[in-house]
A = this chain, B = another copy of it.
Amino acid sequence: MIGKHMLMIPGPTPVPERVLLAMAKHPIGHRSPEYSEIQAEVTENLKWLHQTEQDVHILAASGTGAMEAGIINFLSPGDRVLCGCNGKFGDRWAEVCEAYGLSVERITAEWGKPLDTEQFRAKLEADTDKTIKAVILTHSETSTGVLNDLETINKHVKAHGALIIVDAVTSLGAVNLPVDELGLDVVASGSQKGYMLPPGLGLVVVSPKAWTAYETAKLPRYYFDLGKYRKATAKNSSPFTPPVNLVLGLQAALQMMREEGLENIFARHQRLTQATRAAVKALGLATFAPDECASTAVTAVAPTTVEAEQIRSTMKKRFDIALAGGQDHLKGKIFRIGHLGFVGDRDILTGISALEATLIELGGDSAQSGAGVEAAAKALNRH
């Protein structure tokens, strides 16, 4: 049977029919009053989602483009920055900084472990000359399923005074992230994650403090010059042609998110995460990230007696479910289950029952028939 594919990867995530149909509308001119009205609504709802009074800017770019914009608009060549690196994406932001000639210090942790907040504290406290201009970190590390302790690191950054630039690509819309309350300076995200949209939009919000840094920041930029977006967004416009149909989809997705409510969205992601983790453990598989720093977007699983890639290919072949593999040195060592965005309780039961069937078929690990679904069901009940 074809056409019955199920996405359980951490992006692109499933897209609701309402959003797909909104995207299938004929485009309208992006300089028309009708488009301005749509953008006004979208901006308002993005502010609600980010829990901020600041405008959220929409870029035609992937999440990486949005993060690059979030870095290069506020820094100058040679500026000293701290980068939290405990996965593929943390590493990537350090690479972006190096590509632009920043002086990068990596605070690393083993992949699968959270960043050590004390290392940030020590580095920042030692910097009495305030040479550190920004701290850059990934909130939810998609490559490992680790949720870094943004709140504690942010406290240390606030005590120091540097900017804090956050990759919230798989945390925004999956876990509470009150941008203004935390005083985050730059928060970047991408459409194909919690937004329940296909990829193609990058989103960035900027604090007043970061806008002050923008005034003197000297790294070159044009397409990613957020000052151009700031001016345009204030007039419900865009500096360059926006991806009109993706914005129509975003309008529909944000309406759905408002209908569900922020608290419900966060509780749902928490519930799906707990159910997935309980089930994986009941099936005798190890979760890769510890419980206390579990991402609510993605669970990485490290099977022992069965090959990760064998599980992935059987899930695909037998049940047409896409799971993500490991990245870089984790290739073949883990697989990743996405439970982010347009994912409900039934989807977790579906995924877990297929995983259980897969393990039975492959005969590996200590899979006990029924154990995964039972554990998931109980966890879904509890939360």
Question: Interface of A with B (CB < 8 Å)?
Answer: 5, 7, 9, 11-12, 14-15, 20-21, 23-32, 60-65, 68, 95-96, 99-101, 190, 192, 198-200, 202, 219-225, 240-246, 322, 324-325
Contact = CB atoms under 8 A, between A and B. Distances in A.
A99 B223 CA distance: 10
Nearest to A7: B29
Contact of A200 (B7, B223, B246, B322): B246
Contact of A222 (B14, B95, B324): B95
Contact of A246 (B20, B190, B243): B243
Given A68-B223, A198-B243, A199-B60, A23 B24 contact: yes
16 contacts: A5-B26, A14-B26, A20-B24, A23-B24, A24-B24, A31-B324, A60-B62, A60-B65, A60-B199, A61-B223, A63-B241, A68-B223, A99-B225, A100-B222, A199-B243, A220-B220
Counted per complex, copies of this chain come to 2
Contacts of A11: 241
A29 B325 CA distance: 11
A351 to B, nearest CB: 14
Given A11-B241, A243-B243, A322-B32, A198 B27 contact: yes
Q: Tell me whether chain A's interface is mostly helix, strand or loop, or mixed.
A: loop
A36 B238 CA distance: 32
A231 to B, nearest CB: 15
A12 B5 CA distance: 31
Contacts of A241: 11-12, 62-64, 190, 192, 199
B26 A15 contact: yes
Nearest to A96: B222
Contact of A60 (B27, B28, B60, B242): B60
A222 B62 contact: no
A338 B118 CA distance: 59
A12 B35 CA distance: 12
Contact of A23 (B5, B62, B100, B245): B245
B199 A29 contact: no
Contact of A223 (B12, B64, B243): B64
Given A60-B62, A65-B240, A27 B199 contact: yes
Nearest to A193: B241
Contacts of A24: 20-21, 23-24
B242 A199 contact: yes
Given A11-B241, A26-B15, A192-B241, A61 B60 contact: yes
